[in-house]
Chains A and B, each alone.
Chain A
Amino acid sequence: MNNYIILILGMAAVTYIPRLAPFLMLSGKELPQSLRRFLSFIPCTALGALIIPGVFSSIPQSPHAAMLGFGFAVIYSWFRGGIIVPVLGSIVVAFLFSSL
């Protein structure tokens, strides 16, 4: 019961090492073109997989509210850009819908 600290340190280590190792291995190295290209696509493919299908269950009590809030963020940022307004707006839309 009280030995969480060892568990926590173990979890911290296996989380930190994969976050750190690539910087030590890759920084300042010339990488092959194909590998660079592969790495350059990771931001967008990571976002795609982080959003789908997670967003559908982001508000477990009301998936419809989640979709409406998310839809607002998509439409707003498509036409107007920005981050803060669409993010706050998505919360407001989801909240209004679920409290209807």
Chain B
Amino acid sequence: MYQRRQSFHCIREGVLAGFPIIIGYLPIAMTFGILAKTAGLSARDAFCFSAFVFAGSSQFMALSLLSIGSGAGEVILTTLLVNFRHFLMSASLATKLEKNIKRWIPFIAFGITDEAFSIVSFRQKDVTKEFILTVEIMGYISWVGGTLLGYLAGGILPPAVQESMGVAIYAMFVTLLIPEAKKSLKIGLLACLSGMVNAILNNVDILSQSWNLILSIVFSSAIGAYLFAEKEVHSYE
């Protein structure tokens, strides 16, 4: 009985925590639906993209590569690179999940997006399967539903509203970051460092943006691990 109350509680917290993801995904997913239709995909294919791949930037990338006539091999290879940052995120998360959730791992792993990862890894309390799966399912519904909505209904939101919603994801990222940065200066510094490295790499424009992102994360985390040895490691786990 107690356990059931506990998991109900986690689901409720997951719904609250996942709400910003719904708002953040919706305009992007609708844009994907609209673009997929423009690119000549069937509704079924657009749906399958979002339902099976479930990774925003790589789906947009696929559309633009297809439109310039790239082959499937090239698109798949680029997808691997664009989404490889999730390897780092899953690795980070794997060390902090509660132990007895083995059989849920295949589902949890499927839903690791930038946004779900951010919300889950900054959670103060235990990361239970109920919490993480609720957050992920909400994101999934918003992403797949938004894709169909965009495909079938087109721009039902006024363009100005939909454009303005583009800032929502970034607002969500920063509201997750700020409480941590207030608690620990080094968190704030490392985040800034990583952003600056990424901005510089993008400006230099030698590698693709996906590489830049991965390099920024690896470089800044390594700097952090080197500079901030010992102490406070446990409080951040």
Contact = CB atoms under 8 A, between A and B. Distances in A.
B191 A45 contact: yes
B167 A66 contact: yes
A21 B175 contact: no
B38 interface: no
A51 B91 contact: no
B92 A39 contact: yes
B62 interface: yes
B87 A21 contact: yes
B151 to A, nearest CB: 14
Contact of B117 (A8, A14, A37, A43): A43
Contact of A39 (B58, B95, B106, B202): B95
A69 B171 contact: yes
Interface in A49-100: 49-55, 58-62, 65-66, 69-70, 72-74, 76-78, 81-84, 86-92, 94-95, 98-99
B84 interface: yes
B160 A26 contact: no
Contacts of B172: 83, 87
Contacts of A53: 195, 198-199, 202
A87 B177 contact: no
B193 to A, nearest CB: 7
Contact of A23 (B20, B94, B178): B94
Interface string A6-17: 111111101110
Interface string B195-237: 1111100100000000011001100111011001100010011
Q: Chain A binding site: helix, strand, loop or mixed by DSSP? A: helix
A80 B178 CA distance: 11
| 7 tightest A-B CB contacts, nearest first | A52-B195, A48-B191, A48-B194, A73-B171, A90-B171, A22-B91, A95-B164
21 contacts: A4-B48, A5-B48, A15-B86, A19-B110, A20-B90, A20-B105, A27-B102, A37-B228, A44-B188, A45-B220, A45-B224, A47-B174, A47-B191, A47-B194, A49-B220, A81-B179, A82-B175, A83-B19, A84-B20, A92-B164, A95-B160
Interface of B: 16-17, 19-20, 23-24, 40-42, 45, 48-49, 52-55, 58-59, 62, 72, 75-77, 79-80, 83-95, 97, 99, 102, 105-106, 108-110, 112, 114, 117-118, 121-122, 160-161, 163-182, 187-188, 190-199, 202, 212-213, 216-217, 220-222, 224-225, 228-229, 233, 236-237
